[in-house]
């Protein structure tokens, strides 16, 4: 679990780990330079569960970003299977037990994942918008060969699976997370490397409550206008990564080219709109 200034939601995330029906787990909490009560909250659980919970930081308690923090957490872990939980999300009680059993039952699968619950009802003041199960756009309850779900989330980033469990050997094989991706799309980059080289088990089970709230990394990036830039950076990285592979995948390359063109047009439209708004404000008419 990586966390940066997560005092608001961290206790609930930690409780969901302690409540797992599988007792054989360890939790490595990576504090990525928090300045709020995160160290106190995480440290209290580590003191109560010293055999299973540890808190680690980067040197000098610096902020290194999401990818470097995930890599640090995995380096500090001891298990054969690894999973991730963001500090503002919640695990279903059966997550660890059921995912580990599926990896045991399907030794050819490098990882297992299912759809998330898009969790809006946690906030009583958010209105009547219901919770929703993520659409993966994939056949479920079976092993998917490479490139697995990669084409689906190229077409729609909302289809990116979260909360997967991966074999430690597969994590090491693909080289972990790319540390130049500090925020948005760090998960898509890692998963692209995984799905291009390894089969994965796609389940219909929901194991993660993915909390929707205005301070999340994704919502902040959209609000600040950085989503298209972040997506284009990911697509350029993916284009170069696929091109460096010995086996050419013509359909995947076509999808990447299409997405680069689409996001390029969307980025240009956004820049024109921003320029018009600035001109209107300068002329005193507002935006």
Query: Which pLDDT value is given to residue 14?
Result: 98
pLDDT tens figures, 242-280: 999 877 688 899 999 999 998 888 877 766 677 777 777
- Residue range 23-34, pLDDT digits in tens: 999 999 999 999
Q: Which two tokens stand for residue 55?
A: 């808190």
- Cα 29 → chain centroid: 16
Q: What angle do CA 13, 123, 187 make, to 5 degrees?
A: 50
Q: What is the mean pLDDT of the chain?
A: 90
C-alpha–C-alpha distance, residues 213 and 144, integer Å:
32
**85 within 8 A of 1, measured Cβ to Cβ:** yes
Which of 233, 223, 225 lies closest to 274, judged by CA?
225
Q: Domain segments of the chain: what residues?
A: 2-224, 225-287
Question: How confident is the model over 26-57, as pLDDT tens digits?
Answer: 999 999 999 999 999 999 999 999 999 999 99
**Secondary structure of 97-113 in the HEC alphabet?**
HHHHHHHHHCCCCCEEE
What mean pLDDT comes out for the span 4-33?
Answer: 97
CA-CA distance, 91 to 94, in Å (whole number)? 8
Q: What is the pLDDT of residue 143?
A: 98
Q: What is the pLDDT of residue 160?
A: 81
Whether residue 134 contacts residue 159, with contact meaning beta carbons closer than 8 Å, is answered with yes
Higher pLDDT, 160 or 9: 9
Tokens found for residue 247: 């086996």
d(CA 29, CA 46): 9
2-224: CATH homologous superfamily?
Answer: Spore Coat Polysaccharide Biosynthesis Protein SpsA; Chain A (3.90.550.10)
Band of residue 137 on the pLDDT scale cut at 50, 70, 90: confident
Range 116-137 average pLDDT = 86
pLDDT of residue 222: 47
Query: φ, ψ for residue 83 (rounded to 5)?
Result: -140, 165
pLDDT digits (tens, 9 = 90+) for 185-222: 999 999 999 999 999 999 999 999 999 755 655 555 44
């Amino acid at each position: 679990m990586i966390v940066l200034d997560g005092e608001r939601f961290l206790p609930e995330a930690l409780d969901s780990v302690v409540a797992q029906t599988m007792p054989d787990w360890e939790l490595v909490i990576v504090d990525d330079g928090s300045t709020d009560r995160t160290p106190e909250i995480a440290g209290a659980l580590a003191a109560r569960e010293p055999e299973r919970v540890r808190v680690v930081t980067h040197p000098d308690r610096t902020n290194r970003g999401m990818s470097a923090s995930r890599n640090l957490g995995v380096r500090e872990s001891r298990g054969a299977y690894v999973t991730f939980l963001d500090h503002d999300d919640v695990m279903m009680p059966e997550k660890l037990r059921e995912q580990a059993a599926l990896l045991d039952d399907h030794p050819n699968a490098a990882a297992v994942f299912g759809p998330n619950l898009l969790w809006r009802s946690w906030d009583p003041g958010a209105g009547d918008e219901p919770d929703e199960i993520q659409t993966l756009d994939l056949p479920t309850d079976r092993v998917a060969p490479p490139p697995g779900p990669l084409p689906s989330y190229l077409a729609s980033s909302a289809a990116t699976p979260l909360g997967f469990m991966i074999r430690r050997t597969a994590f090491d094989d693909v080289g972990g997370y790319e540390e130049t991706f500090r925020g948005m799309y760090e998960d898509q980059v890692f998963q692209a490397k995984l799905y291009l080289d390894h089969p994965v088990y796609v389940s219909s089970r929901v194991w993660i409550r993915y909390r929707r709230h205005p301070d999340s990394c994704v919502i902040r990036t959209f609000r600040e206008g950085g989503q298209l830039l972040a997506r284009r950076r990911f697509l350029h990285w993916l284009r170069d990564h696929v091109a460096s592979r010995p086996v050419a995948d013509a359909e995947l390359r076509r999808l990447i080219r299409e997405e680069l063109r689409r996001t390029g047009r969307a980025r240009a439209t956004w820049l024109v709109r921003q320029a018009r708004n600035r001109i209107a404000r300068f002329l005193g008419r507002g935006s």
